[in-house]
Amino acid sequence: MSHLILASSSPIRRVMLQNAGIRFESSPVRIDEDAIRQSLVADQASPRDIADALAEFKARKAAEKWPTSLTLGSDQILALRGEVFAKPNDREDAAKHLRRLSGQTHHLYSAAVIYEDAKPVWRTVGSARLSMHTLTDSEIDVYLDQAWPEVSGCVGAYQAEALGAQLFSRIDGDWFSVLGLPLLQVLSYLRMRGMLVP
């Protein structure tokens, strides 16, 4: 049976795979996400394609260390009317993100790429549309008082599975992609590979 490596330090991605009963090892990789993202934005790549490319960079990097394993790279991109957001640098930056998302509908694209034998063997991108309530500056401050620094690693400065749920009026699409991994598609691939128990 193949061995699965999750090329991510994301706690929620680990929890999703663990809760789904998947045996895996976590082996975070370092890539220059900002430089890659900025280059792809400059080349006018779509948000979906940017998520896919970043996931592939991570899977490929992990495959260098684990060449005989399946390496799963994943990434999530937030886009508002075509503009791609980066993770907030600090609390002030998080407040700016939330002010821009306030009263708007944005998209999340969560990509997953699996490498085996130094090449990509499977990929998918899940998506969701999220409509945020109109928030006052005071509401944003109160929210960040409670949610920071937990949301510092979240592209939208929120965790929709936690306190961030209060920010939204509607979420359409793949819930697992909101969390950062298109889990059902990943599980379907692992089932095809004989890596699921049931």
The model's pLDDT over 75-116, given as tens digits with 9 standing for 90+, comes to 999 999 999 999 999 999 999 999 999 999 999 999 999 999
Instruction: Indicate the domain borders of the chain.
Output: 4-192
In whole angstroms, what is the distance from residue 96 CA to residue 168 CA? 17
Question: Are residues 86 and 29 in contact, defined by beta-carbon separation less than 8 angstroms?
Answer: no
- Residues 27-82 have pLDDT tens digits of 999 999 999 999 999 999 999 999 999 999 999 999 999 999 999 999 999 999 99
* Reported pTM: 0.95
Known catalytic residue: 90?
no
Candidates 75, 90, 93, 145; catalytic one: 75
- 4-192, which class in CATH? alpha beta
Name every residue whose Cβ is closer than 8 Å to that of residue 28 and which is 6 or more positions away in sequence: 7, 8, 9
Helix (H) or strand (E) holding 114: strand 105-116
Alpha helices in 43-174 (DSSP H): 47-65, 91-101, 137-147
